[in-house]
Amino acid sequence: MPMNVAHRGASGYEPENTVLSFRRALEMGADAIGIDVHVCASGEVVVFHDDTVDRTTDGFGKVSEMNLHALRALDAGKGERIPTLQETLDFVGSRMKIDIELKETGCAAPVREILKYAVDQGRSYDDFFISSFIRPELETMRSLSSDVRLSVLFNWMTQHRALEFAESIGAYSVNADFTLVDADLVRAVHEKGMKLFVWTVNEKEDIDRMRALEVDAIFSNYPDRV
Ligand code: G3P
């Protein structure tokens, strides 16, 4: 069975990247959550997808230019607050794995510190995946740690030499837009000793097709369908 990854939490049901969506994912039996991170102006790593808060909160402005206090004042949906990465790790504990997508340059080092602390406290590096479209960020993360599981994200625009790059940094997986996936890609990734994770698969017929292709993880806004 592929790993069932709740994309931004159970974001088909609850506000994305909030504790409410993570709790819903847990209730729906997800094996993992896939979250996004930025570093805010005061230096904390916060769980948020877009560069600006405009789409998913009642405020406006760039995440990188707002401090934690300002971000905390926003309503991220249903009264939820934007969580920090540390709070998310604390909430999830050992109940689910976490895929952490680095959304901007400069995330790797602070995220690595948080993971190292978690591992020092008894967690395992195997409980986390660090993914990104930003290849230099993944290279930075690898230079900081040989233990972290890295995942190379790609879509139609960024697929060029993705597998070769993934091999070069000793990636654990490549994470593909599911519309790119066919049997040849599954075979090529597995022959290189890596896993193939796919996103974002929401329709039942697409989920069934991905399962038949024997991908290793399915990211969905609807973990109950997976
Ligand atoms: O992690 C897979 C997927 O989340 C990548 O796209 O835009 O949702 O970050 P996006």
Where residue 162 sits, what CATH number does that domain have? 3.20.20.190
How far is C-alpha 11 from the chain's CA centre? 13
Q: Is the CB of 201 under 6 A from ligand 1?
A: no
What is the C-alpha to C-alpha distance for residues 16 and 36, in angstroms, rounded to an integer?
A: 10
pLDDT at 121: 95
Question: Is 214 among the domain residues?
Answer: yes
pLDDT at 192: 97
Query: What is the total count of domains within the chain?
Result: 1
Nearest CA to ligand 1 atom 7: 49
Question: Is 192 among the domain residues?
Answer: yes
Q: Is 62 helix (H, G, I), strand (E, B) or coil?
A: strand
Question: Is 42 among the domain residues?
Answer: no
pLDDT at 132: 98
Q: Which residues in the chain come in under a pLDDT of 50?
A: none
pLDDT at 135: 98
Q: Is the CB of 9 under 6 A from ligand 1?
A: no
170-225 pLDDT per residue, tens: 999 999 999 999 999 999 999 999 999 999 999 999 999 999 999 999 999 999 99
What is the C-alpha to C-alpha distance for residues 132 and 13, in angstroms, rounded to an integer?
A: 25
Question: Is 56 among the domain residues?
Answer: no
Question: Which domain range does residue 12 map to?
Answer: 3-37+95-220
pLDDT at 66: 98
| Total Cβ atoms within 10 A of residue 136 | 10
Question: Is 100 among the domain residues?
Answer: yes
Catalytic residue among 38, 49, 69, 190: 49
Both tokens of residue 210? 């991905």
Beta strands in the chain (DSSP E): 3-7, 32-39, 45-47, 97-102, 128-132, 150-154, 173-177, 195-199, 217-220
Question: Is 49 among the domain residues?
Answer: no
Question: Is 8 among the domain residues?
Answer: yes
pLDDT at 105: 97
Question: Is 170 among the domain residues?
Answer: yes
Q: Which atom of ligand 1 is nearest to the CA of 49?
A: 9
Q: Is the CB of 219 under 6 A from ligand 1?
A: yes
